[in-house]
Amino acid sequence: MTTLAISPAQRDALARWLDHLRALNGAAPNTLTAYAHDVTGFLAFLASHHGGGEGLAAVAQVDQSDLRSWMAHERGRGVAARSLARELSAVKNFVAWVADREGVDATSVLSARGPKYRRKLPRPLTVDGARDMIDTVGAQAREDWIAARDIAVVTLLYGCGLRISEALGLTGAAHPLPETLRIIGKGGKERLVPTLPAARDAVANYVRLCPHDLTRDAPLFRGQRGGALNPRLIALVMEKARLQLGLPSSATPHAMRHSFATHLLSAGGDLRAIQELLGHASLSTTQAYTAVDATRLMEVYEKAHPRA
């Protein structure tokens, strides 16, 4: 299909909708970029599907037939079910926003069902695997301060459940690490995360050895030349460590955060409390860890009680 330019009215509405999400919902820049791409693609399809450029009224009058045709087109392009579900969510949100301003009932669009897909369960490390990972990460670097840095970062991922972007987003003002750390997560959402003594000690050791001037407003974690630490370097050092330990390819920086959540849940942690610690907007996201816990429990049971 030849992509047609969307109408000026639609472009204006899209810009205003994104501004709305940015101002009222605190949507993150990456999220807004993805939404803009998804909705622009839908509007271009709509223009082609109906045989020409259309104004805002056409958006407000989108029905389930339009959505089904668009979803069939996307699947035909090879868009996976999970990605299409995300696109549909953005499109439904935008169409509902336009319909509300045009005085049109968007119930039909909002009730449209997306493609079914199987959610991927998080793949955490075992408790011993997480500890071994932290220890082995520190053995990769030739310089003591870099080893201490890598240990500190991975300890924050596992000990505090931080995303890699959140750990590397810390500034010098975070040192010394307080007992409760204030984190700005996805969408600018703020949360408080308790810090374990092991995490505080790891960060303190890194700061003591770091040759760069860690001012309050500059990044806490630095690269070899003093710039902000690239997250890819942490991924690489963990890759080397997992190969040495014989761990699966799923043993990534994000797996340390999954491990944090799963081990808390296994120890009797409250699901709501874990949701707050992780900064999940929806409890359904956190509930994936209950499935992980149940799966691992069955694995242990089957090993202990093999079928005859």
Residue 16 predicted with pLDDT over 60: yes
Q: Indicate if 287 and 146 belong to the same structural domain.
A: yes
47 vs 10: CA distance, rounded Å = 11
Residue 153 predicted with pLDDT over 90: yes
Mean pLDDT of 62-72: 86
283-290 long-range contacts, CB within 8 A, separation 24+: 286/261, 288/119, 288/121, 288/122, 289/122, 289/258, 289/261, 289/262, 289/265, 290/265
Which of 110, 137, 152 is a domain's end point?
Answer: 110
The CATH number of the domain holding residue 199 is 1.10.443.10
Which of 85, 110, 135 is a domain's end point?
Answer: 110
Domain assignment present for residue 188? The answer is yes
Q: Indicate if 131 and 193 belong to the same structural domain.
A: yes
Mean pLDDT of 147-170: 91
* Token couple for 125: 């490390």
The CATH number of the domain holding residue 97 is 1.10.150
Query: How is residue 174 annotated by DSSP?
Result: G
Q: Indicate if 284 and 135 belong to the same structural domain.
A: yes
Q: Indicate if 99 and 12 belong to the same structural domain.
A: yes
The number of domains in the chain is 2
Residue 239 pLDDT grade (very low, low, confident, very high; cuts 50, 70, 90): very high
Which of 59-63, 135-139, 159-163, 258-262 reaches the highest mean pLDDT?
135-139
Question: For 165-188, how does the pLDDT look when each residue is reduced to its tens digit (9 = 90+)?
Answer: 899 999 999 999 998 888 887 767
Mean pLDDT of the chain: 80
238 vs 218: CA distance, rounded Å = 25
Number of H helices, E strands in the chain: 15, 2
Domain assignment present for residue 62? The answer is yes
The residues annotated as belonging to the active site are: 163, 186, 254, 257, 280, 289
Q: Which residues form the domain of 92?
A: 8-110
Residue 129 predicted with pLDDT over 50: yes
Mean pLDDT of 256-260: 82
Mean pLDDT of 247-258: 84
Domain assignment present for residue 118? The answer is no
Domain assignment present for residue 221? The answer is yes
Residue 120 predicted with pLDDT over 90: no
Residue 294 predicted with pLDDT over 50: no
